[in-house]
Amino acid sequence: MCHALLSDPTLYHLLLKFDRDLAAQARAAGCLCGGALHSSDYARKPRGAPPGVAGGDFKRRLSLCCAEEGCRSRTTPPSVRFLGRRVYFGAVVVLATAMTGGITAKRAERLRELVGVSLRTLRRWHAWWRGAFAESPFWKAARGRFSPPVETGALPSSLLERFSGPDERERLIRMLAFLGPLTTTSAAAGAGS
């Protein structure tokens, strides 16, 4: 099922729509100084998406900049497409790491074929989920919402299992929305690799 989800272009189009909605909400709220916010997107080179998804708007991180002279503050709303500064789409980081459930050569090869992720990168993601993420201020504050506690040694699959929805895609989207605060500069600073 995860393989099919990672290969589904409609997932990535839906995530882009959600990111646009988050940017529109941030724009409507305006700058803290009271100024209007204008588009000030920046380029990304995302990896891991199916063919036809990695171009155009998929290569842009939606961001805003204050129009007031003297302020020009940047506002980067949360994202469900990107997970911090990682080059792979957030859905790939979550699902590829959750799918491995113990990295075997066969699983690593299948993921390399599917999304182009190396065994070394998978190991780094596993270490991030169980180390930097598990110790982050974000997770320390958020983990209390889950009862029974999420098993740290099985992240991210143990967290993904906690989100409800009619199918795996909906659960993934809800988890990516939950992780949204990690995608902004202030929260991502403590989020690690």
Task: State how far the Cα of 129 lies from the Cα of 139, in Å rounded to an integer.
Answer: 10
Q: Name the nearest CA neighbour of 103 among 124, 82, 89.
A: 124
Residue 81 lies in a domain: yes
| Cα maximum dimension of the chain | 56
Answer whether residue 172 is part of any domain. Answer: yes
Identify the band that residue 94 occupies on the pLDDT scale cut at 50, 70 and 90.
very high
- The answer to whether position 104 is within a domain reads yes
Cβ neighbours around 56 below 10 Å, total: 9
Sign of the alpha-carbon torsion through 33, 39, 44, 47: positive
Asked whether the beta carbons of 182 and 84 are under 8 A apart, the reply is: yes
Tell me whether residue 56 is in a domain: yes
Query: What pTM, to 2 d.p., does this model score?
Result: 0.89
Number of domains in the chain: 1
Give the C-alpha separation, 18 to 177, whole Å.
Answer: 9
Does residue 192 sit within a domain? Answer: no
* Packed helices 105-115 and 90-100: angle between N→C axes, nearest 10 degrees: 160
Q: For residue 187, is pLDDT > 70? A: no
pLDDT in tens, 48-61: 988 778 678 888 99
Domain membership of residue 191 (yes or no) is no
CA distance 76 to 96: 26
8 Å CB contact between 72 and 31: no
Mean of the per-residue pLDDT values of the chain: 88
Q: Quick check: is 193 in a domain?
A: no
Establish if 84 belongs to a structural domain.
yes
Q: What is the pLDDT of residues 119-157, one digit of tens each?
A: 899 889 999 999 999 999 999 999 999 999 999 999 999
Domain region containing 70: 2-186
